[in-house]
Amino acid sequence: MTGLRIAVVQHDIVWESRAETLARLEPVVAAAAGAGARLVVLSEMFAVGFSMNVQLTAEDEDGPSTQWLLSQAERHRAWVCGTVPIRSPGEGLPYNTFVLAAPDGLVHRYRKIHPFTYGGEREAFSAGKDIITVDVDGVRVTPFVCYDLRFADVFWEVAADTDAYVVSANWPEARRRHWSSLLVARAIENQAFVVGCNRVGEGGKLTYVGDSAVVSPMGDVLAAASEVETTLLVDIDPATVAEVRQRFPFAADRRPLLRG
């Protein structure tokens, strides 16, 4: 099989309460894996919400949220991911880290490159520097986090080696149109699948309405969620990406940005 079944878990979060949220998520992840999902995607800060109270929420690289992701991946023989506030010794502020746990026990980490200054994230979190792409059952997956979606250049940088971008988010209702529009734009301009996972509910005085979606390399919305907790199940195939890029070789005309 060359395709990949993805479960996009649009879920609520108990604000700054890791134990309660993880307990709620366990049966949801189990149901997704039971439906054949090989990659289960959770939201940004999936266990605690988009909190800047890092003294309370931040954890070590092998902390409880990462261990939970690993245990879920091992139990269900699937890849499970979401972002975690992780502190590293000697590196100052913690990082908003996308953690991708593999069923064989390996962990892949991407540190959010663009902290959300408008929401105070830059004062609480350091900015990452490196993009990663991971082979997930034959599909080249590149993770990004929420605010990264606004910056097309980081998506362009790795487009040639990416079949699917996965974006975990806590994107508020006030700018929901931006979220949905940018997911489609990133798919069209890079001719890749884009998987967007956003939370629902309330936290930190903000309201979240989800709008999670999976978009095809042609910009078609293959599945979309409304304003409630739900799981999207979508099968994607890297052969579709290759076919679209061969039929419409637009990327060959892309030129480096001119500066100065």
Catalytic residue among 59, 81, 112, 121: 112
Could you confirm whether 44 is annotated as catalytic?
A: yes
Among the options 44, 59, 121, 197, which is catalytic? 44
CA–CA distance, 131 with 89 (Å, rounded to integer): 21
152 exposure class (CB count in 10 Å sphere: 0-12, 13-18, 19+) = middle
Are 157 and 165 in contact, with CB atoms under 8 Å apart? Answer: no
Active site residue 26: no
3-state helix, strand, coil in the chain (%, to 5): 35, 30, 35
Nearest in space to 32 (alpha carbons), one of 231, 234, 198 = 231
223 three-state secondary structure = strand
Q: How far apart are CA 165 and CA 110, in angstroms?
A: 13
Beta-carbon contacts of residue 122 (< 8 Å; ≥ 6 apart): 115, 116
CB of 115 closer than 8 Å to CB of 148: no
Q: Which of 81, 121, 146, 197 is catalytic?
A: 146
For residue 48, the one-letter residue type is V
Residues 55, 128: Cα–Cα separation, whole Å: 19
**Annotation marks residue 81 as catalytic:** no
* Tally of helices (H runs) and strands (E runs) in the chain: 7, 14
Q: Write out the catalytic residue numbers.
A: 44, 112, 146
